[in-house]
Amino acid sequence: MKIVHDPDVCTGHGRCYLLVPELFADDKFGHGFLSGSGVLAEEQMKAAQKAVDSCPERAISIVAD
């Protein structure tokens, strides 16, 4: 599985990197971005789902890789 972040949809609420810093970081404008490749290990699935659920713009999704 892979987590995907759409920067064109992101408006910078910051929930992803505040709630799931192991998968996301922030840029100088406060927009989140993936801090790694996005490929998820089994133990990261719960954190990834937390990021998906917390994004008000639905800019984050989990897809099959």
**DSSP β-ladder status, 2-5 and 24-26:** unpaired
For residues 10 and 34, is the Cβ–Cβ distance under 8 A? no
Q: Is 64's pLDDT higher than 90?
A: yes
Q: What is the pLDDT of residues 15-53, one digit of tens each?
A: 999 999 999 999 998 899 999 999 999 999 999 999 999
Residue 3, amino acid: I
Tokens of 18: 């505040």
What pLDDT is attached to residue 65? Answer: 80
pTM: 0.92
Q: What is the mean pLDDT of residues 4-24?
A: 96
Q: Is 12's pLDDT higher than 90?
A: yes
| Pairwise CA distance, residues 65 & 63, whole Å | 6
